Amino acid sequence: MKFFADTADIAAIDELVPTGLVDGVTTNPSIIAKSGRDFKEVIAEICKIVDGPVSAEVAATEANQMIAEGRELAKIASNVAIKVPLTWDGLIACKTLAAEDTMVNVTLCFSANQALLAAKAGATFISPFIGRLDDIALDGMELIHDIRVIYDNYPGLKTEILAASVRGANHVRMAAIAGADVATIPPDVIKGLVRHPLTDKGLEAFLQDWAKTGQSIL
């Protein structure tokens, strides 16, 4: 499973890239607003740091304007993926931009039927929002399972499942088990995946035993 960092924080991305764990980046209007910086400048800077897809979301809600904004954002770098909402107009924009060989991330997916429509419209990625479904007492992970089954039933559908609204380590684990192609994850959650108390305990014991030998490797 690929990991996309869900952030516009350049420092956080810089910290993660050397680990080899970052396959791409996703942003949205809320994340960009928190950065307090110019939208296009932030996207351009991220695209220079990360080789993989960098999602940049349109602000329009009408298809023709979405297409125009998508084309403008696509000029920033070859690895920009245009993010459009899963609406009727969003599907029209997706179809047009995908036909122009532009990567499209269709976002705000909350049903398997929506995911099927996005795939038929040529989406590169479909973003089911796991956490937001969990918030309203629905099973977000069940949606990942359903989309995986549908896409696997029809090999002609090439859309990748991008698990979004990931809240913690369990979401990452369950999305991987369910067969999500990608998970977009906040940097602090990515860093938290490495932690386990038994790892810390084991390392402490090894270091104590090594110190008793009085030896040095270098």
In terms of Cβ atoms closer than 10 Å to its own Cβ (0-12, 13-18, 19+), residue 89 is middle
The answer to whether residue 40 is catalytic is no
Considering the candidates 34, 40, 83, 95, report the single residue annotated as catalytic: 83
Beta-bridge partners for 82 = 56, 104
Catalytic residues: 83
